[in-house]
Structure 1
Amino acid sequence: MSKQFWKKTAFSLATILVIYFSLIGVSMGANFNPSTDRFKNDRQVPDNYLAQVTSISQLSDISPTDHYYEAVRSLVERYGCSIGYGDNTYRPTLTIVRAEVGSITNACTNAIEQLEGQNFFDISEEIEALTNQLADISNKYPHKRR
């Protein structure tokens, strides 16, 4: 299969993971108060909002015993996605807003585009691992019903 196919597949999976992580907070019943919207005044995420971490060990509020540890580690260390906050936290219990979903998706897109120049021999194992991690995370959270 072509490089373009694998690039699009990797991007799609990364995007799905980012969106899913944003929905986890909603399904867990995390409170979101629009009156305390972190981006209310400028309607955008500041450029320095996301941490440029290269190892999950730089994120102070994640430990290897957390069920989402491997999924976050994969996004940070394998794909170079910036998913932590500027204070080197991940804040796993905080519901994120759409502006943050956009910023995180953009950061992952940029990281994957940088990987485009590298040689991909066979990333089917990577895709399978990401798919399994998403399924594992999905099975551990109760789904919110409306």
Structure 2
Amino acid sequence: MMDIIKVNEESIDNNQLINWLSTLPQDGAIVTFMGKVRCSGEQTLSLYLEHYAEMTEKVLANIIAHARKRWQLSRVAVIHRIGEINVNEQIVFVGVSSAHRADSFAAAEFIMDILKNEAPLWKKERTINSDKWVEAKKTDIDALKKWN
């Protein structure tokens, strides 16, 4: 059992992470989620992400620990970028390996849903017209209901 948890400004190396997730012979399932900054209707230029440095990785580790209690997982990687991230650049990577696909799919979705709601990360959207802090979306909050 191993985890990779990183919160930093560096670009995410998807190939390296997928290779790491794929190395255990007992694992038949690897599920990954790669999220990127998208352009909204107001012509987004970038997102600027801040975080509570002393807590963010601890919260992510706790989310992974909860996922491990629910599903049989081998390896888990959660990488989240901070700082200035331009449209179409990757912002997050969640990867899970397990013996069976059901565990990997469920755990990856769980980790992402909980991360969106509990990780101490704040986003400021920069558009051609203004900068504004992004509030939690109702759809992200509603996604938590399926995990109770």
TM-score, normalised with respect to structure 1: 0.30
Higher relative strand content: 2
TM-score, normalised with respect to structure 2: 0.30
Higher relative helix content: 1
